[in-house]
Amino acid sequence: MSDSLGGGFGVEIPFVAHLGFELKLFEGGLSELAYTPLAEHLNSFAVTHGGALMTLLDVTMATAARSVQSDMGVVTIEMKTSFMQPARGPLTGKGRLMHRTGTMAFTEGTVYDASGRACAHATGTFKYVRRLPAGPESADIRSVIATD
């Protein structure tokens, strides 16, 4: 799955593009992302940095939440992460929408290494928000995201 914005997300997410995440599954409350960390994404132990893993988990869960209503955006309200073992090489993030209300999504995500071992797991709560218009004429309106 890909698009002109790169990665298949349907919206421009500069940090996600910088990290090189690629969307593989986006439907029915499920998501799957592929990520191959570069040398600059590693920590001093030469394994994927926890911040990069948390970003992968956040985007994986947000994408699962958006997969049931792709015209809406989501903002992270809360995220709890557990690191189980070092993450090396190509990684896969798999997300699942566990429960949804009219305005909130409750999700979980797991990052797996190439051997299928779970490296990190997270749960997250997201708020659905209207997607704001894009482009230079919307600069003022984009500075405020309604979360109430």
Residue ranges in the chain modelled with pLDDT below 70: 1-7, 132-148
3-state SS, residue 36: coil
What is the pLDDT, as a whole number, of residue 145? 62
For residue range 33-43, what is the model confidence (pLDDT) as tens digits? Answer: 999 999 999 99
Could you identify the residue written with the tokens 């993030």?
93
Give the CA angle between residues 60, 66, 69 to the nearest 5°. 160
For residue range 45-64, what is the model confidence (pLDDT) as tens digits? Answer: 999 999 999 999 999 999 99
Q: Are strands 72-83 and 91-100 parallel, antiparallel or unpaired?
A: unpaired
